[in-house]
Structure 1
Amino acid sequence: MTTVVTDNCLKCRFTECVTSCPVSAFRAGPEMLYIDSETCIDCGACVPKCPVQAIYEDLDLPEDMLQWIDINASEAKLWPKITAKDVPLEGALDRKQSLGF
């Protein structure tokens, strides 16, 4: 089991979630975060930290988002680990508002 970042993170990359991860499972892609399924212990600590509700435990993932399990698994292998809060991407606040948060 793992926790998964979905497309609400796209073009936001808020990083409040990474500071709650006890095993440093987050990876920073150029447009969003990903969770390394081999590192994640499925504690769920990051889920309530996301300001755009982009993170789900895989068992709670809506059916139309199941592809994000594989996307996280493959993309996490490509990007560096992120363990500290960073500034969101340019335009992230506008994206957050457009998502209704």
Structure 2
Amino acid sequence: MTYVITEPCIGTKDQSCVEVCPVDCIYDAGDHFMINPEECIDCGACEPECPVEAIYPEDEVPDDQESYISKAASHFE
């Protein structure tokens, strides 16, 4: 399992999650940040730091935000 950054990040891009990531797997993808699923160690440090609650474990992403799972995967191919 990995963590996924979803739509609420768009337009906010608060860097709190980037600052706490121990493996630097969160990247600026233009309109929002994305977590590289291959680099994420599933530590969860980023989730509580997000002020807009945009970060979810992959298996808990809301149904209407699931496109962000594949969006992150394809972004890092």
Q: Quote how far apart the aligned CAs of 1:51 are.
A: 0.5
Q: Secondary structure at the match of 1:4?
A: strand
Off by >3 Å, runs of 4+ in structure 1: none
Once residues 73 and 23 of structure 2 are traced to their aligned partners in structure 1, the CA distance between those partners, rounded to angstroms, is 16
Q: Which residue of 1 aligns with 2:34?
A: 34
Q: Which residue of 1 aligns with 2:10?
A: 10
Q: Which residue of 2 aligns with 1:95?
A: none
Q: Secondary structure at the match of 2:19?
A: helix
Q: Which residue of 2 aligns with 1:85?
A: none
Q: Quote how far apart the aligned CAs of 1:19 are.
A: 1.3
Once residues 53 and 9 of structure 2 are traced to their aligned partners in structure 1, the CA distance between those partners, rounded to angstroms, is 8
Q: Which residue of 2 aligns with 1:74?
A: 74
Q: Give the TM-score, by structure 2 length.
A: 0.91
Give me the identity figure in percent. 40
- 1:35-59 Cα distance to aligned partner (Å, 9 max, x none): 0000001111100000111110112
Q: Which has the larger radius of gyration?
A: 1
Once residues 30 and 64 of structure 2 are traced to their aligned partners in structure 1, the CA distance between those partners, rounded to angstroms, is 24
Structure 2, unpaired ranges of 5+: none
Once residues 12 and 19 of structure 1 are traced to their aligned partners in structure 2, the CA distance between those partners, rounded to angstroms, is 15
Q: Give the TM-score, by structure 1 length.
A: 0.71
Once residues 58 and 48 of structure 2 are traced to their aligned partners in structure 1, the CA distance between those partners, rounded to angstroms, is 15
